[in-house]
Amino acid sequence: MLNKYPLWKNLLIVAVLGIGLLYASPNLYRPDPAVQISGESSGTQISAREIDKITAALTAADIDHFGAEADTSGKSGLVRLRHADDQLHAQKLIQRALGDGYVVALNMASNTPDWLSGLGAGAMKLGLDLSGGVHFLLEVDTDAAIATRLEHYSTGIKKKLREERIRGFVRLGEQGIIRGKFSSEENRDKALSVIRKEYTELTAQRVSAPEGEEAFYLEALLSETKRKEIEDYAVGQNLTTLRNRVNELGVSEPLVQRQGRNRIVVELPGIQDTAEAKRILGKTANLEFRLEARYDAEPSDREQFNFRNPGRGEPNAWLEREVVITGERVANAQASFDENGMPQVSITLDSEGGALMHRVTRHNINRRLGVLFIERKSRTRYETNAAGEEQVVRVPYDEKKIISLATIRDALGVQFRITGLDAPGEATELALLLRAGALAAPIDFVEERTVGPSLGAENISKGLLSVQIGLAAVALFMLVYYRVFGIIAVVALAFNIVLLVGAMSLLGATLTLPGIAGIVLTVGMAVDANVLIFSRIREEIAEGASPQHAINAGYGRAFVTIMDANITTLLVAVILYAVGTGPVRGFAVTLSLGIVTSMFTAIMGTRAIVNLIYGRRRVSKLAI
């Protein structure tokens, strides 16, 4: 018979529609507003003790909550709230109850049933303009970047003066001023000449000695141009690093951009693990490779640091102030295990870093090389202002500890290993941070809030209304103009939307407001294919063809036209996705998926229904 699908094709259509329904169904379950808790360090566990503290604090504040629990790994905990308005208040209470050492972040907790989650089904991600998300305002500590650079200048000047055999005392003083003290005017002038020649970015000048002191002084300052250059580099490098870290987190459609002189805005739509995001974004994990100081080194040329792993035999060690290389020279980092089953990080340096490491280690065989792990942390205290309101004050500080101090047996190159880490999670996190790039300067969280769906709720409402109106208008037109065939087209159109939502959920695509516009356009394009088919069937009947031959010819001869039109549109959508950003990509994604699903439902879907209705009997007249 002309209009009859084989069994396998009918089963294929049913299977595709079933899968579409399955993966679209999680969107029926609304998520709960929640607060998520994790340790500042990957080794920190969230136990029943912490959960009890959390619930006690929320109960005392009369915040309606439920479902407080730690995950099976003990790495994080989650408490659900009845009202989204309570999230910020609950976050502050939980942070105070737990104290420092924990990251408390806002989240939306999924309600997708376990059996659906087990099949890999999840709700479609919504963009920031629809569902809101998490908004972080970060401030780059540019003063710290300048201080670090001045420390390098100070160390370099000392080394240069020693090479030139110029006796004197150089140190970095307050307000970023490098001061030099010399016993003779000749030495002072020689030092001044060296600084002006080797460090052109510094403004060096003679200064008078304090009254009654027989010495000769000079001062060196960073020029304003160089200071601004360092600040811009620090913010720019941090911006790149944060983008890399967000990419490592796998967040869809994030926003990471500079704001003002030294601030960065990060907006993460629909993220499921905000505590992890906050911990990874705010982590100023950097490395410094320094040689162990010689026993006769000058006090000004060495620093004492404790070991990060307290199980070592040595409580602390002295390292040189001069840094061999920093984490900025790391090109790649991967976590693994050494021959004893202990966690380690395999490091690959860039060419310049490898050359520096090789040069230093080649001349220091049998000396020990220390790996200094640097973290920016903060201490929290609570103060009451003049109005009697309690305020949270966070005082940032840098924690520097040695994670490895090993003897150099051979000259090192671009590849080597870091050992001495406490846990595999710590090694994985360190590798991620180094792989994403080192922060050029510490960053502090100035503001954290949910971007709510204040506009988002209205956007969703109006977007859904536009889809409903478009669908209703199209359905009415098809029913009036094509009668029974119009009903078939409307059924296929409904399945088309289900398949589109299911595909976006399965692929993890993010729906934005422009994406809703793409869905509306898809509705029109899907029915357009049916209009071409049905019009062709009418023409065949007008030319005297039998109903069965008219149906067969209508689908067969309209196929090429439909395919050409949809392929050209699909190419445009692919180009939009390739060259566009943000909202343009959101539109391109829904348009591309919509073209594919509409081709399936408008051609195969409607044909299957028509075959079921007309393909098994004699037909003298078509209701079209």
- In DSSP notation, 356-419 reads HHHHHHHT-TTSEEEEEEEEEEEEEEEEE-TTS-EEEEEEEEEEEEEEEEEE--S---SEEEE-
Q: Which uninterrupted H or E stretch holds 350?
A: none
Indicate if 404 and 524 belong to the same structural domain. no
For residue 438, what pLDDT is reported? 63
Indicate if 594 and 468 belong to the same structural domain. yes
Domain containing residue 214: 143-224
The string of pLDDT tens digits covering residues 520-552 is 888 877 888 888 888 888 888 888 888 888 888
Indicate if 604 and 474 belong to the same structural domain. yes
Indicate if 177 and 194 belong to the same structural domain. yes
Confidence class of residue 128 from pLDDT cuts 50, 70 and 90?
Answer: low
> Residues for the chain: how many in total?
624
The string of pLDDT tens digits covering residues 564-586 is 888 888 898 889 888 876 678 77
Indicate if 485 and 591 belong to the same structural domain. yes
The string of pLDDT tens digits covering residues 292-326 is 998 888 887 889 998 876 655 678 899 998 888 88
The string of pLDDT tens digits covering residues 450-486 is 655 445 566 667 777 887 887 888 888 888 888 888 8
- Select the highest-mean-pLDDT range: 18-32, 116-130, 165-179: 18-32
Percent of the chain scoring above 90 in pLDDT: 5
Question: Which two structure tokens, joined as six digits, stand for 43?
Answer: 């080794």
For residue 447, what pLDDT is reported? 79
What are the phi and psi torsion angles at 387 (to 5°)? -85, 5
Strands of the 255-259 sheet, one edge to the other: 255-259, 263-269, 133-140, 443-451
More confident site: 127 or 496: 496
Confidence class of residue 131 from pLDDT cuts 50, 70 and 90?
Answer: low
Segments in 250-392 forming alpha helices (H) = 274-282, 351-362
β-partners of residue 510 are 125
Beta-strand pair 510-511/125-126: parallel
Indicate if 466 and 575 belong to the same structural domain. yes
What's the CA gap between 17 and 498, in Å, rounded? 8
Q: Is residue 571 part of a domain?
A: yes
Q: Is residue 13 part of a domain?
A: yes
The string of pLDDT tens digits covering residues 484-519 is 888 888 888 889 989 998 988 888 777 777 888 888
Q: Is the pLDDT of residue 115 over 70?
A: yes
For residue 454, what pLDDT is reported? 47
Indicate if 565 and 474 belong to the same structural domain. yes
Q: Is residue 114 part of a domain?
A: no
Question: Which two structure tokens, joined as six digits, stand for 368?
Answer: 């020990």
In three state form, how does the secondary structure of 96-113 look?
A: HHHCCCEEEEEEEECCCC
Q: Give the mean pLDDT of the chain.
A: 82
Q: Is residue 242 part of a domain?
A: no
Q: Is residue 623 part of a domain?
A: no
Q: What b/e sequence results for 171-185 when a residue is b if at least 16 CB atoms lie within 10 Å of its CB, and e otherwise?
A: ebeeebebbbbbeee
What is the CATH classification number for the domain harbouring 44?
3.30.70.330
Q: Is residue 160 part of a domain?
A: yes
More confident site: 152 or 366: 366
Indicate if 81 and 219 belong to the same structural domain. no
Amino acid identity, residue 107? N
* CA-based torsion, 598, 602, 608, 613: positive or negative: positive
Burial of 549 (0-12, 13-18, 19+ CB in 10 A): middle
For residue 273, what pLDDT is reported? 56
Q: Is residue 433 part of a domain?
A: no
What are the phi and psi torsion angles at 502 (to 5°)? -60, -40
Closest CA to 599 of 553, 572, 568, 574: 568
Structural contact between residues 390 and 92, judged by C-beta atoms closer than 8 angstroms = no
Indicate if 595 and 501 belong to the same structural domain. yes
Q: Is residue 476 part of a domain?
A: yes
The string of pLDDT tens digits covering residues 42-88 is 667 788 888 899 999 999 989 998 888 888 777 788 899 988 778 87
Indicate if 53 and 18 belong to the same structural domain. no
For residue 318, what pLDDT is reported? 92
What's the CA gap between 530 and 459, in Å, rounded? 30
Q: What is the mean pLDDT of residues 270-285?
A: 62
Residue 543 neighbours by CB under 8 Å, 6+ apart? none
Q: How many CB atoms lie within 10 A of CB 591?
A: 24
Confidence class of residue 16 from pLDDT cuts 50, 70 and 90?
Answer: very high
Angle between helices 583-599 and 513-542 (to 10 degrees): 30
Pick from 205, 224, 243: which residue ends a domain? 224
Indicate if 152 and 42 belong to the same structural domain. no
Indicate if 338 and 410 belong to the same structural domain. yes
State pTM to two decimals: 0.57
Structural domain count of the chain: 4
What's the CA gap between 601 and 199, in Å, rounded? 71
Beta-strand pair 325-326/286-291: antiparallel
DSSP one-letter string for 496-532: HHHHHHHHHHHHTPEE-HHHHHHHHHHHHHHHHHHHH
What is the CATH classification number for the domain harbouring 310?
3.30.1360.200
